[in-house]
Chain A
Amino acid sequence: MSKKEIKNQADGQSISLEEIFDQKIAQDEKIEPKDWMPEKYRKTHIRQISQHAHSEIVGMLPEGNWITRAPSLRRKVALLAKVQDEAGHGLYLYSACETLGVSRDELYEQLHTGKAKYSSIFNYPTITWADMGAIGWLVDGAAIINQVPLCSTSYGPYARAMIRVCKEESFHQRQGYEIMITLAKGSPEQKEMAQDALNRWWWPSLMMLGPTDAESVHTAQSMKWKLKRKTNDELRQQFIDQTVPQAELIGLTIPDPDLKWNEEKGCYDFGEIDWDEFWQVVKGHGPCNKERLSARVNAWEEGEWVRDAAMAYAEKQEDKKLKKAI
């Protein structure tokens, strides 16, 4: 009998570990860190969870850019709290990922060397205050649509982290939309600023929901493992249908001349997405790829002495305690 097989004593049939695993997933049972899992499941989860964590960490950079220049104290505390949440979300996700037997150091290494990806949307610049509104409203809006189904994904630690993330995320979107509302009913210049931000963030937000179903290589497997519950195209449609009325409500125009309500299908038809742009940014040629990665690497390297000092202090305290005990 192979190592992968165990004997079922009752009926003398042998059933492989993989079959037990598949049954568990089919019955919506969770997989926990020490349970047996196929190597491909482990690898895929490390890839997806770490990408997700990296996105939260890199995602702090475009917004951190505006903390010191927020137009009021109210906006500033909200933005600070949002960025702090993103750090927290990154940390929940890194620790969920570590339960799969990969170390934090390896994960950072993959991010810093460019081996691991993070969400391409963060490679776009934040050039006006309205970008803080558009990011909260659109980018966090798209993220929520992506993340809600993950609360019931099959890997226990990931699902638990996502429940926590989703609870905290809705304030992010509301604070962004509130910024847009305020600008949209402000001076003509402010309204124009809001429209300009929408123009720049709309298409990258649609791309954020991933390649079309026809192009997406991981969809089938991910659906089986409940790493995905809806396809990219379904999620994108949901995002568009929910966002268009919100833009109309505040008098902003979605920058898509082909956007039209389809009475028959009960959803919006929309124009062609520029997938060349998407792949260019994924491959590292977006407007800010280099800047983001170097900011992240610098933060890590320049913080090294702090981490070392903290460890040295901890060891010294431990020694002291030991000596006292003797």
Chain B
Amino acid sequence: MKNNWPLWEVFVRSKNGLEHRHFGSLHAADAEMALENARDVYTRRNEGVSIWVVESKNITASNPEHNGELFEPANDKVYRHPTFYDLPDEVKHM
């Protein structure tokens, strides 16, 4: 019988104050097992204080081949950056 365990993505918060970061993936039958396996595979040396697991099929990813179109709207909006605005030299910090 081929009844394969699905793939899960693992996100770990290394300490409070930091965001959860992608650590890798693993196979598990359900979410609870994915959490326990994530603890054993990715946090054997106290690398985390919190773990998220999400089944990989639930992640929608952008396609790098479309990066041009996707990120183009940000390219020509230099006025979103503080350096776009001219200030007199006398203003030291703003």
- In angstroms, Cα B35 to Cα A86, docked, is 20
- A99 CB → nearest B CB, Å: 8
- Is the CB of A181 closer than 8 A to any CB of chain B? no
Contact of B64 among A35, A96, A105, A310 (CB under 8 A): A35
Q: Is the interface of A mostly helix, strand, loop or mixed?
A: helix
- In angstroms, Cα B63 to Cα A311, docked, is 32
Contact B24 A85 (CB under 8 A): no
Interface residue stretch chosen among A87-95, A131-139, A244-252: A87-95
Contact of B29 among A35, A92, A168, A311 (CB under 8 A): A311
- A307 CB → nearest B CB, Å: 7
* Known contacts A105-B4, A310-B5; is-contact A88 B41 (Cβ 8 Å): yes
Chain A's interface size range is: 20 to 34
Q: Which residues of chain A have a CB within 8 Å of any CB of chain B?
A: 32, 34-36, 81, 84-85, 88, 91-92, 95-96, 98, 103-105, 160-161, 168, 304, 307-308, 310-314, 317-318
- Is the CB of B27 closer than 8 A to any CB of chain A? yes
Please name all residues of chain A whose beta carbon is closer than 8 Å to the beta carbon of B26 when the two chains form the complex: 91, 95
- Is the CB of B86 closer than 8 A to any CB of chain A? no
Please name all residues of chain B whose beta carbon is closer than 8 Å to the beta carbon of A32 when the two chains form the complex: 64
Within 8 A of A (CB), among B1-16: 1-5, 7
- A64 CB → nearest B CB, Å: 17
* Known contacts A98-B25, A168-B45; is-contact A34 B3 (Cβ 8 Å): no
Contact B33 A91 (CB under 8 A): no
Contact B3 A308 (CB under 8 A): yes
Most A Cβ at <10 Å: residue of B2, B5, B26, B41:
B41
- B24 CB → nearest A CB, Å: 5
Q: Tally chain B residues at the interface, Cβ within 8 Å.
A: 21
- Kindly report which residue of chain B lies nearest to residue A318, judged by CB atoms: B30
Contact A161 B24 (CB under 8 A): yes
Give the number of residue pairs across the A-B interface with Cβ within 8 Å. Answer: 57
- Is the CB of B44 closer than 8 A to any CB of chain A? yes
- In angstroms, Cα B65 to Cα A35, docked, is 7
- In angstroms, Cα B24 to Cα A36, docked, is 21
- B53 CB → nearest A CB, Å: 13
- A131 CB → nearest B CB, Å: 24
Most A Cβ at <10 Å: residue of B2, B29, B63, B65:
B29
- In angstroms, Cα B41 to Cα A161, docked, is 12
- In angstroms, Cα B5 to Cα A98, docked, is 14
- Is the CB of B61 closer than 8 A to any CB of chain A? yes
- In angstroms, Cα B81 to Cα A243, docked, is 55
- In angstroms, Cα B2 to Cα A308, docked, is 8
Proximity string of chain B (38-70) to chain A, C-beta cutoff 8 Å, 1 when within and 0 when not:
001100110000000000000001011100000
Of the A-B pairs whose beta carbons lie under 8 Å apart in the complex, a sample of 13, sorted by A's number, is: A35-B64, A91-B26, A92-B24, A95-B25, A103-B4, A104-B7, A308-B1, A310-B5, A311-B4, A312-B3, A314-B30, A314-B33, A318-B30
* Known contacts A168-B45, A311-B29; is-contact A98 B4 (Cβ 8 Å): no
- Kindly report which residue of chain A lies nearest to residue B3, judged by CB atoms: A311
* Known contacts A310-B29, A310-B33, A317-B30; is-contact A92 B4 (Cβ 8 Å): no
- In angstroms, Cα B61 to Cα A155, docked, is 18
Please name all residues of chain B whose beta carbon is closer than 8 Å to the beta carbon of A168 when the two chains form the complex: 44-45
- Kindly report which residue of chain B lies nearest to residue A88, judged by CB atoms: B41
Contact B65 A36 (CB under 8 A): yes
- B79 CB → nearest A CB, Å: 23
- A196 CB → nearest B CB, Å: 33
Besides A34-B63, A35-B64, A310-B30, 20 new A-B residue pairs in contact (Cβ under 8 A), listed by A number: A84-B44, A85-B44, A88-B40, A88-B44, A91-B41, A92-B24, A95-B7, A95-B24, A95-B25, A98-B7, A98-B25, A103-B4, A104-B4, A168-B45, A308-B1, A310-B29, A311-B29, A312-B3, A313-B29, A313-B30
